[in-house]
C-alpha cells in the first residue's frame, strides 16, 4: 500500500500536468501571439518546447507511479502527450483566426519523444551517481 507521503509528489505532478494543459488551451483559445509570426517556423519551436515540458512532467509522473529504470518510447507519456496534441489541434479548428496544422502535431510528438529521451538520460545519470555514492 502506498504511504500518504508518497502520494504528495504524485498529486503535485498531476496538478502541474493539469495546469500545463489548461495554460496550453488558454493560449490556443486566442489569436496567435504576434511574436510567433516574426520568425519562420517559430510556432513549431513553441509547440516542441511546450509539449517537451508536458512530456517531462508525464515522464516524472510515470517514474513515480512505476519505478522502472527507463521509459520505453512507446509509452503512456508519449500516448498522453500525443492525444493532447490531437485535442489541441482540433480545438484550434474551432477558434476564429486559428487553424489546425499537422506539422504542429508533429512538433508536439517530437517534443514528447525528446522528453522521453531526456528523462531516461537524467534517470540513468541519477542511478549512476547514486551507485558511485553508495559504499561498496
Domain ranges of the chain: 40-133
pTM as predicted: 0.87
CB atoms under 10 Å from CB of 29, counted, come to 12
Q: What is the pLDDT of residues 24-37, one digit of tens each?
A: 999 989 887 777 66
Q: pLDDT value at position 136?
A: 57
Report the distance separating Cα 77 and Cα 83, nearest Å. Answer: 10
pLDDT at residue number 5: 61
Residue with cell 500536468: 17
How does pLDDT run across 36-59, given as a tens digit for each residue?
667 778 889 999 999 999 999 999
Predicted pLDDT at 135 = 66
CA-nearest of 108, 98, 55 to 90 is 98
Amino acid at each position: 500500500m502506498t504511504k500518504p507521503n508518497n502520494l504528495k509528489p504524485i498529486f503535485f505532478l498531476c496538478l502541474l500536468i493539469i495546469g500545463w494543459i489548461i495554460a496550453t488551451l488558454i493560449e490556443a483559445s486566442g489569436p496567435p501571439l504576434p511574436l510567433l509570426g516574426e520568425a519562420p517556423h517559430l510556432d513549431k519551436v513553441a509547440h516542441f518546447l511546450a509539449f517537451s515540458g508536458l512530456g517531462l512532467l508525464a515522464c516524472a509522473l510515470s517514474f513515480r507511479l512505476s519505478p522502472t529504470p527507463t521509459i520505453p518510447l512507446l509509452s503512456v507519456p508519449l500516448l498522453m502527450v500525443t492525444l493532447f496534441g490531437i485535442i489541441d489541434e482540433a480545438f484550434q479548428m474551432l477558434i476564429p483566426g486559428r487553424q489546425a496544422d499537422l506539422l504542429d502535431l508533429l512538433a508536439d510528438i517530437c517534443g514528447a519523444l525528446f522528453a522521453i529521451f531526456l528523462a531516461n538520460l537524467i534517470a540513468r545519470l541519477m542511478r549512476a551517481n547514486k551507485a558511485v555514492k553508495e559504499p561498496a
